[in-house]
Amino acid sequence: MLKDYLEGNSQFQQKAASWQAAIKLAAQPLLEKGTITEEYIEAMIQNVLDNGNYIIILPKVAMPHARPKFGSQGVGMSFLRLQEPVLFPKDEPVELFFVLASNTPDGHLELMAELAEILSDVELYEDLLKVQTEEELLALFNG
Active site residues: 65
**Among candidates 63, 59, 43, which has minimal Cα distance to 111?**
63
Alpha-carbon gap, residue 101 to 123, rounded angstroms: 27
Three-state secondary structure call for residue 141: coil
Centroid of chain to Cα 78: 6
**Are 29 and 78 spatial neighbours (Cβ–Cβ below 8 Å)?**
yes
Alpha-carbon gap, residue 42 to 70, rounded angstroms: 9
Q: 100 has which bridge partners?
A: 77
Q: How big is the chain by its Cα radius of gyration, in Å?
A: 14
